Structure 1
Amino acid sequence: MKWSLNIGTIIILTVLLTSMRVMGQTESVDEDENEASNKHRLTILMANAFIPAADNIADQNSVFIVPAWGINYDYWFNHKIGIGLHNTFILQQYKIEKSQENVIIERSFPVIVTGEFLFKPVRNLTISLGVGREFEKHESFTVINTGIEYGFELQHGIELSLNFLYDNKIDAYDSWMFGVGFSKFFSWTNRKE
């Protein structure tokens, strides 16, 4: 009797452990398929930009921070590499001292548009490198930027992320931006019924 109870316990444990392993593999495959199908990401970013070149202007604060919004679209080739179109809207007027010429330039609600290369060295961490243009009615500048983002996965393909971005406006000025992003992952698949 004691021997049969141990054999029964072993059989039950074996069946349970085997089924857990099979279910675990199924969930992993489902996650990989889901990640592969969610190639598109749309992000809305709320941020603040620190502009050091504005510090030297007499009628501005010594620490000059302006509000900004971002709307970003990313396409992921796989779970590590993607490209994106990132758009930043600065929501304030300010003056900067142009680095090369010591000339004061007024900036009025500039818009920055960049093409980005995206790389995920680990699951929730994204590093970006981009090139683009800052458009503004007085003068536009070429922009080179780099950024780092850490995302927190929520439900239904939604992600909350912390973003840090450095913009170098060539021969003009630099800015640092810190923000919070809300992203939605999705796919555009044609399903045949």
Structure 2
Amino acid sequence: MTPKFSLVIGFLLLFGNQVNAQEETRETEDTVLKNRVVFSLGYTWIPAANELSETEADGGFFVPTVGFDYFRKVHERWEVGIMWDWELDHYMVNGDELERERAMLFALVANYELMDHWAVFAGAGVEFEKHENLAVLRMGTEYAVEMGQDWEFVPSFALDIKKGYNTWSLAVGFCKRF
């Protein structure tokens, strides 16, 4: 064999291995699960509220909350999504005398994974309610515990900043990645 022929064969083998490695990389990229949905149950703490039947503030009010979230991975550590929460109670916000009954919050959020399983999120949205709709800024954090077969247990904590008052939410959810 001539040195030129050996060199050509060596390049072809090297190039062939690189093409094969690229195909394997594409296969693993295609299997990345880019979507996830979360169903959660929790409580929202409203420090400036009390039950509708009470006339004086007693230091806050807990409201049961149901949530549903959808996220789509757009980068290795970034997701964008929508969060929907539904408060299952009727209460009065002190000071503004703002009545709230079964409010529904929709927020568009960006989610950033700080490290494996732990993420922070922030976004904006609207809280719809029959008495008055309110703009909302939402920020929070969540931690995902893998359960197998693309399921996760996800405790989360969120702060909602609204006109006249803020709320804190603590929830536990179940996530399915697909």
Aligned mates of 2:160, 2:31 — CA distance in 1 = 31
Aligned mates of 1:44, 1:95 — CA distance in 2 = 27
Residue 172 of structure 2 corresponds to 180
Offset of residue 105 of structure 1: 1.3
Aligned mates of 2:60, 2:30 — CA distance in 1 = 42
Query: Which is richer in helix?
Result: 1
Aligned mates of 1:34, 1:154 — CA distance in 2 = 22
**Equivalent pair of 1:141/1:172 in contact (CA under 8 Å):** no
**Equivalent pair of 1:118/1:128 in contact (CA under 8 Å):** yes
Q: Deviations over 1:3-48 (max 9, x none)?
A: xxxxxxxxxxxxxxxxxxxxxxxxxx89x93795210000001010
In structure 2, the gaps of 5 or more residues are 1-23
Offset of residue 173 of structure 1: 1.3
Q: TM-score, normalised on structure 1?
A: 0.73
The aligned runs of 1:71-86 (5 Å cut-off) are: 71-86=68-83
Name the CA shift for 1:77/1:38 in 2 (closer, same or farther; >3 Å): same
Q: Provide the secondary structure at the position in 1 that maps to 2:72.
A: strand
Residue 43 of structure 2 corresponds to 48
Q: Deviations over 1:99-154 (max 9, x none)?
A: xxx32011010000000001001010010001000000000100001010011011
Residue 88 of structure 2 corresponds to 91
The aligned runs of 1:1-193 (5 Å cut-off) are: 33=28, 37-55=32-50, 58=55, 61-97=58-94, 102-169=95-162, 171-186=163-178
Q: TM-score, normalised on structure 2?
A: 0.79
Aligned mates of 1:33, 1:61 — CA distance in 2 = 56
Residue 7 of structure 1 corresponds to none
**Equivalent pair of 1:47/1:67 in contact (CA under 8 Å):** yes
Aligned mates of 2:58, 2:29 — CA distance in 1 = 48
Identity between Structure 1 and Structure 2 (%):
26
Name the CA shift for 1:123/1:162 in 2 (closer, same or farther; >3 Å): same
Aligned mates of 1:128, 1:179 — CA distance in 2 = 14
RMSD: 2.2
Aligned mates of 2:43, 2:136 — CA distance in 1 = 18
**Equivalent pair of 1:35/1:79 in contact (CA under 8 Å):** no
Runs of 4+ off more than 4 Å? none
Offset of residue 172 of structure 1: 2.3
In structure 1, the gaps of 5 or more residues are 1-28, 187-193
**Equivalent pair of 2:50/2:92 in contact (CA under 8 Å):** no
Q: Provide the secondary structure at the position in 2 that maps to 1:33.
A: helix
Q: Deviations over 1:76-120 (max 9, x none)?
A: 1133001011000000000002xxxx3201101000000000100
**Equivalent pair of 1:150/1:162 in contact (CA under 8 Å):** yes
